Amino acid sequence: MLRHVSVDSLMPYIGVFILVFAGSAFFPQVLSVDYLTQQLQIAAFLGLLATGATIVILLGHIDLSVPWVLTGAAILSTALVGSGNPVLGALAVPAALAFGALIGMINAAGVAILRIPSMVWTLAMNSMLLGLAVLNTGGFNPRGESSELMITMASGDLLGLPVSFLIWIVISLALTWLLTRTPFGRYLRSIGYNEKATYLSGVSTPSVLFAAFAIAGMCSALGGVMLAGYANQAYQSMGDPFLLPTIAAVVIGGTSILGGRGGLFGTIGGALFITLLTSILSVMQIGDAWRNIIFGVIILVMLLFQTLRKGAPT
Contact 238, 227 (CB under 8 A): yes
Any idea what the CATH number is for the domain that residue 137 is in?
1.10.3470
- Give the residue ranges of DSSP H helices in 147-240: 148-155, 163-181, 183-193, 195-200, 205-231
Domain-embedded: residue 296: yes
Domain-embedded: residue 8: yes
Mean of the pLDDT values across residues 107-119? 95
Q: What pLDDT, on a 0 to 100 scale, did the predictor assign at position 313?
A: 44
Domain-embedded: residue 97: yes
Q: Is residue 3 predicted with pLDDT exceeding 70?
A: no
Can you name the residues that pair with 158 across neighbouring β-strands? Answer: 161
Q: What pLDDT, on a 0 to 100 scale, did the predictor assign at position 314?
A: 39
How many domains does one find in the chain? 1
CB atoms within 10 A of CB 186: 15
Q: What pLDDT, on a 0 to 100 scale, did the predictor assign at position 22?
A: 84
In the chain, what percentage of residues exceed pLDDT 90? 58
The domain containing residue 224 runs over which residues? Answer: 2-307
Q: What pLDDT, on a 0 to 100 scale, did the predictor assign at position 189?
A: 92
pTM listed for this prediction: 0.91
Please, which pLDDT band fits residue 152 given cuts at 50, 70 and 90? Answer: very high
- Give the residue ranges of DSSP H helices in the chain: 7-26, 33-58, 66-82, 86-90, 92-108, 118-137, 148-155, 163-181, 183-193, 195-200, 205-231, 243-252, 264-283, 288-311
Domain-embedded: residue 139: yes
